[in-house]
Structures are given as C-alpha cells and as structure tokens.
Amino acid sequence: MLVPVAGVVDGDTVTVRLGGQKERVRVIGIDTPELRGDECYARQAASRMQSLVQSREVQLVTDPPQGDRDRYGRLLRHVRLADGRSAAKVLLEEGFAREYTYRRAYEGQAEYRAAEAAAQKSHAGLWGACPASPRRGPSTSARPTPSTTSRRPADAPKGDRPAGGSCDIKGNINRRGEKIYHVPGGRSYARTTIDTSRGERMFCSESEARAAGWRAARD
C-alpha cells in the first residue's frame, strides 16, 4: 500500500499520512547528519530526501527484527519509492547518509553497506565535503556486536546515564558555539570528533560535563 508523504523532518526521518493521522517514520538502515546540531551536510541530506519523497506516495515496509517503533515513538520502516527503489539506498549511494545498524541486522544490510563503501571510496557527498568527519572502516569489516557495544540503558534517568566507567564522554562545540556532550551509544557519538584547540574536551561523567557548562545531546 502506498501512503502520502506529508513532510521531511531530516535526511532519515519523514512524516506520512496514515490512517487519517500524521506519523513520523524513522528510515531503517541509515543515519544522516543532524539539522539541529547544524552538522556538516545535514541540509543537503534533508534536501535530497525531500526531492525523493516530498508530496509523493511511498511504500512503508516493516522489518520484524527492528521492531515497530523506536523509543521516540516513530515508526521503524523501510521506505520504498514509487519506482521500487529504496530511499535509504539512494542516499547511501550518493553520499548523503551513513549506514546505521541498531542492535539487529535488517533486510538489505549487506547491500546498504556496499553502497556506503562505494560512496566513501569515491568521496561522494559528505565523504568528500566533510573531511573532519570520523570515517569508519570499510563497511564489510567486522563490526561490534550488541554485546560488545557500549550503549546507554534505555530506562536510565536522563542525566544519570553511565559513561562506561571511563572518561569517554565527548564535549563538542558546534558551529553556533553551543557546548553539547555525547555519551557512548548516542546517535551522534561515533561521528563526533574532539578538537582540543577549540576548547572541546572529554569528560568522565555527565555531572562533570554539566558542571563545566555542557548540555546533553538531544538524541
């Protein structure tokens, strides 16, 4: 069944009309730069997604291992364009997104990782425009499994989440001068880099970061 797209939130989240109401959909398999943090290539990624789906109809495909909704209440779906292409794969191929796996493998994961690797190799999109972005190893290389990846407990009170027992909280300063800290397992943690010459630093606890004037990332 095709559903109409009512809007684009950013490169990996869209709003659709479903059952007489609007629903936000988090696209499975990709992660794009954050508009709220004014991250490099965020506007381009959102614009490309908009050109693919805005005011058009798309097919939403479930992926049982991923669950129905994320912790923010967004539907978790693959988004297929009217011509059958995967919106996520298009963004990966053109360098507007990074491949993203949360806990469990999803349908098409190998193809998505291959698309990301090809874009990275050719310096397409953000891979060429954002040289300061941390670059993961080849998408086909071994990746940490959920049991070895540090993640924030979903039920931990905000502000008291553990940092894994080491000084691994990243205190970043964005382009607007906002001091934002990222904890392991956060959506932007892996791609956040620290430049001490700009006043950025690492923290050992969230309370230490807040005391120094940083706020938590909204992810």
| 157, part of any domain | no
| 207, part of any domain | yes
**Residue 57, beta-bridge partner list:** 4
> Is 180 found in the same domain as 75?
no
Among the candidates 77, 100, 129, a domain finishes at 129
| 99, part of any domain | yes
Mean pLDDT of 80-86: 96
Three-point CA angle 72, 78, 84, nearest 5°: 155
Q: How many C-beta neighbours within 10 Å does residue 58 have?
A: 21
| 44, part of any domain | yes
| 162, part of any domain | no
Mean pLDDT of 160-187: 75
Share of the chain above pLDDT 70, in %: 83
Mean pLDDT of the residues in the chain: 83
pLDDT over 70 (residue 6): yes
> Is 210 found in the same domain as 125?
no
> Is 93 found in the same domain as 44?
yes
> Is 185 found in the same domain as 123?
no
The helix or strand, by DSSP H or E, that contains position 3, with its residue range, turns out to be strand 2-10
Cα separation, 173 vs 104, in Å, equals: 32
pLDDT tens-digit map of 27-55 = 999 999 988 878 899 999 999 999 999 99
The helix or strand, by DSSP H or E, that contains position 131, with its residue range, turns out to be none
| 107, part of any domain | yes
Calculate the dihedral angle through the C-alpha atoms of 121, 127, 128, 131, rounding to the nearest 10 degrees: -120
> Is 44 found in the same domain as 93?
yes
Mean pLDDT of 63-73: 94
According to the model, what pLDDT value does residue 162 have? 38
Helix (H, G, I), strand (E, B) or coil at 79: strand
More confident position, 43 or 148: 43
The helix or strand, by DSSP H or E, that contains position 82, with its residue range, turns out to be none
Number of domains present in the structure of the chain: 2
> Is 124 found in the same domain as 198?
no
Question: Which of the 8 DSSP states describes residue 198?
Answer: G
According to the model, what pLDDT value does residue 151 have? 35
Cα separation, 206 vs 66, in Å, equals: 29
> Is 19 found in the same domain as 96?
yes
Sign of CA dihedral 190, 60, 9, 23: negative
Cα separation, 194 vs 210, in Å, equals: 17
Mean pLDDT of 206-211: 84
> Is 111 found in the same domain as 32?
yes
According to the model, what pLDDT value does residue 36 have? 82
According to the model, what pLDDT value does residue 139 have? 32
> Is 125 found in the same domain as 179?
no
Sign of CA dihedral 72, 73, 78, 81: negative
Q: Find out whether 57 and 4 touch, Cβ atoms under 8 Å.
A: yes
| 144, part of any domain | no
- Give every CB contact of residue 14 below 8 A, 6+ residues apart in sequence: 5, 7, 8, 24, 25, 27, 49, 53, 58, 79
Among the candidates 129, 160, 188, a domain finishes at 129
> Is 116 found in the same domain as 191?
no
Q: How many C-beta neighbours within 10 Å does residue 13 have?
A: 18
Confidence category of residue 219, pLDDT binned at 50, 70, 90: low
Domain of 207? 169-216
According to the model, what pLDDT value does residue 148 have? 29
